[in-house]
Copies of this chain bind each other. A is one copy, B any other.
């Protein structure tokens, strides 16, 4: 039902999934900065508790609604449906759904998004695709974030890409630093290109 609504209104929706602290909100504020003059941007924020992320998003200039899941470990389509109603996003816009920080539970839940985006930061280690395969299998795009910290951590980028492709050969991979901006244009270009493709 969410997908049908979003398609009718040509709203391009991404479901963004990562561990707590991988940088989902930082990526979104940087993305909003890059796109807000061109596109209507709406954000649904999922967390167990607090309004912190929705506030950060609103400060960056997009509309945001926070869903607090309480004991819940992921967002579901019903919660997202209500949030879409409340946000009432403009036609042809972009909707980012920032899931609860969790590499396990959000994997099997379809929220009506066009694509699932899994994010991993280089501080988390290159072995995560092998340890949490379901989400890397379910995702269409993988973002490897915090590349600015590569000099200070023991992270093998080639192995990470190899493990991810082993789980999901079709996974598209973008390396970037949300806080420093390196690689961000590739992500922004991907959003623009996919949004156009999906609208055809």
Contacts and interface: CB of A to CB of B under 8 A. Distances in A.
B179 A20 contact: no
* Interface majority SS (helix, strand, loop, mixed), chain A: loop
Interface stretch (A8-16, A57-65, A78-86, A123-131): A123-131
Contacts of A149: 123, 149, 152-153
A134 interface: yes
B133 A103 contact: no
Contacts of A125: 21
Interface in A124-165: 124-125, 127-128, 130-134, 146, 148-149, 152-154
Contact of A73 (B71, B105, B127): B105
A73 to B, nearest CB: 4
Interface stretch (A31-39, A43-51, A89-97, A185-193): A43-51
A71 B107 CA distance: 9
Contact of A123 (B47, B71, B120, B123): B123
Interface of A: 19-22, 47-50, 52-53, 71-73, 100-105, 108, 120-121, 123-125, 127-128, 130-134, 146, 148-149, 152-154, 179
Nearest to A148: B152
B73 A20 contact: no
Contacts of A22: 124
A131 B124 CA distance: 19
Contacts of A47: 131-132
Among A101, A120, A149, A179, residue most surrounded by chain B Cβ atoms (within 10 Å): A101
Contacts of A179: 154
A125 B19 CA distance: 12
